[in-house]
Structures are given as C-alpha cells and as structure tokens.
Chains A and B, each alone.
Chain A
C-alpha cells in the first residue's frame, strides 16, 4: 500500500516537475500558440477560402509593409511562400513551387533566393512558420488580406501606381488553389505562372518610380 502510494506521488512529482520545467525553461507555450493555435492548417479544416487573386494596395489592418519585402522589391516582384510542418496542403504545394522556380531546398529550411523567372529576377522567400524567425512569421499577418491566417499561403508583392505614387501592390492566395479551379499540379503551376507574369508586367510598368529602386 505504501509502495503504491509512493509510486503515485513520485509519478505526480515527475510529471508536474517536467511540465513546470517545460513552461519555465522552454519556448513550448509560444510554439504551440504561434504555430498551432493561431495558424490554421487548411487541410485540418478540410476547406479552402474562396478569395480572389486581384492585386491590392491595402494590407490587412493597414499594417506597414515588411521591411525585408520593401528592400527585396528593388530586385523584382517578391514571392512569399508560407508553409508549415504536418500540413498536407503544404506538401501538395511544395513540389509545385520547386518546379515553378526550378529550385531545391528542404521543407524545414529557411530559404531565400533571387530566382530567375522568364528572364526576370524574382526574390523568393520560403517561410516554414514552425522553423523561422519572428520578422518572417509576423509578415504573414500583414499580407493575410482575407484574414484567414492559414497555411499554405502565397503572396506576390509587386508595384502599382496609386494617386501619383508608385507603391507595393500585392495579392495573396491560400491552400492548394482549389478555389481558382486548380485540381492538378500542372494546373497549379500554370495558374502561378500566369500570376507571376501579371505581377512582372505591373512591376516593369512602375519600377522606375519606386523609391528603393
């Protein structure tokens, strides 16, 4: 009887001590909050948001553009790719993006490259929200124009002309592009290629007026 009680008490102390230690000395609370609770895995939801692919100047909640995006806009339209671990939709889109830019990188890497797309430089930034830095993760909120906060998410930032000023203009797509009628990898690739061509055209028209250029 006493041995059993000792076993119970020891187990309780071990478990509660380990749990307290995890709260006190590891970032697990923030990891779960930022990486699971606040970010919606669209494949977990089994749904994809119906959004349009139109370019807009208005960021979510009128937040300022991310500094790293503004700097990279001097090279060409910026392609931001948000992904995550244990996300089936992200796994579907990952090879499509690699095909789009003919690049190779690990799913859990932080990856940045100025890639060549049809003879135009495109700064490509890959963000796995579970393996990244705050600046990159926080930028997801800025470009989440439809307030989905879901992954996978793709943002293309280019330049547009607005009331006498050249400003960043962007669009954001979510999920596996089912909303845009893409059911196969080939259709997804073609859709993204068209979107990039559109963004390059806008960029070429306006780049001369971009202050960082």
Chain B
C-alpha cells in the first residue's frame, strides 16, 4: 500500500477515535489529553485539549503541577518516539489541511506566493507559534487570566460550529464569539492560501512537538552525498522545508511526501541514530 494512503487511513481512524464521546455513540469520555489540536468543547470529544490543561495549570498566578506536566508528558512520550509525526499522521486539523492543500498548492505556483515563500523573513515568521505558546497559553493565563481557548479557531471549528448545528436555536453567542469568528475566518483563509499554514506558523501544539524532532527515534534522513539537488522533495514538502539541507528540522512532520517523491530514493524514514 502506498505511504500516503496509509497516512490517510491513519488520519481517518484517529479522527473517529477522537470523536467517540458523543452521548450514547458510545459516549466515551476519558481523562486523557489529546496529543494534537482538538477541543474538548466538541460534543463528541473523548479527551481534553492539552492547551486547556496547560492554561488551567497556571490560571491567574496559580500553579497546578499535575495539569501542567500531564499534557507535556503525553506529547513528550509521542514526541520522543516519533517527533512531530503526530501532526501528519494523527491530527484532525492536519487532515483538514490535507483537504485544503490542493488549493494551497495551486496558490503556491503564483509569482507573488513564490516571492513571499522564499522571502528571508519567512523562516523567522515560523517562530510565531512559539510566541503564541508562551505568550497566549502561559503568560497571559498566568498574569491576567485571558486564555487562548476562548478565541481559538480550532475550538470554534470543532466545538462551536458542531454545537450550533446539533442544537439549532438553543444557544446564543457570548462576548468572545465575534472575535473568535474573525480569527476563524482568517484561519480558513490561511489554510486555503498556504499549505499547512496553521502548522507552519501558528499551531502551539506543533511548537510543543517540534523540538522533539531533534531527539526522536523516528526521523527523516537524507543521503546528502548522493543527492543531486533536484529539489523535487522540497517542492513536495507541505511544510516548505529545504529538505536536502534539513537535519532533524523541528518543522518536519514526517508525512513522508519527500520519501515518496525522491526519484533516487535517497530520503528514508530512520528508526534511530543521528
């Protein structure tokens, strides 16, 4: 079976696994945190968003070490084993972006997008997700109580919209709704314009998982000595990485598109070692 088909099956299975919590169907509500981005406000959610647990752990100057460590250890466990592969093989938002990726790839061919994508500031813009993680998830929760999950576009997509659809006329918007709606619209525009735009620039869970690429057992390795620098791999990479020059790049989501694309089969999944 082709690698990308396997990945699609994995994403679909994990999407359904993440949604076994709808009352009666079968109503499985666990005490785990998802290792990816998904909201516990989704009517069918089985687990908690790791960001919610992190925010709660530092709410307004308090510190609950259990709620702080628990999501970090779940993410860390998978991170040490597979790095950021969760983003490509498990995350439902990754599945969504896989769907919008076709349009984003067409946009990528336009001269403006090409210019923007190769701009030297682009690589610095990727640090936004780390700033979001530290600034909006930890610092503001700790200092002023404002929390990321109140305006989260993923929460809007997986929690607010399904609730409105399943309970027509039974809810009214609260004061966060308009702000969250604007951010949600921007999120949708982003993922249609830039392939994996959310994962590249804004996903705080990606920021948590990324550093584990440096030490993970599974990673992508390139035989640099044999590489002819045709750049097919870089063109195929949904994260826009310069694949021949990457070595355990925190941006790599181990989707394997470069592995499949390399005409000389010089890119492989490695299980251990540097």
Contact = CB atoms under 8 A, between A and B. Distances in A.
Interface in A44-67: 44-50
Interface residues of B, number: 59
A96 B76 CA distance: 41
B272 A8 contact: yes
28 contacts: A4-B273, A15-B80, A18-B69, A19-B73, A28-B66, A28-B67, A32-B33, A34-B31, A36-B48, A36-B53, A37-B21, A37-B45, A43-B176, A44-B41, A45-B160, A45-B171, A46-B150, A46-B156, A46-B159, A46-B174, A50-B169, A50-B170, A85-B62, A86-B55, A86-B59, A86-B149, A91-B145, A107-B60
B73, B149, B215 pick with most chain A CB within 10 angstroms: B73
Interface string B140-172: 010001110110100110011001100001111
9 closest A-B pairs by beta carbon, nearest first, are A33-B31, A29-B31, A47-B171, A36-B48, A19-B73, A85-B59, A86-B56, A28-B66, A32-B31
A33 B174 CA distance: 25
B163 A26 contact: no
Contacts of B32: 29, 32
A88 B145 contact: yes
A121 interface: no
Interface of B is mostly: mixed
A192 interface: no
Contacts of A7: 215
A40 B187 CA distance: 24
B273 A1 contact: yes
Contacts of A31: 31, 66-67
B8 to A, nearest CB: 28
Contacts of A37: 21, 29-31, 40, 45-48
Nearest to A33: B31
Given A18-B73, A28-B70, A88 B146 contact: yes
Contacts of A36: 40, 48, 52-53, 56
A29, A40, A45 pick with most chain B CB within 10 angstroms: A45
Nearest to A13: B80
A7, A11, A50 pick with most chain B CB within 10 angstroms: A11
B67 A44 contact: no
Given A26-B66, A32-B32, A85-B62, A44 B174 contact: no
A12 B31 CA distance: 22
A26 B52 CA distance: 19
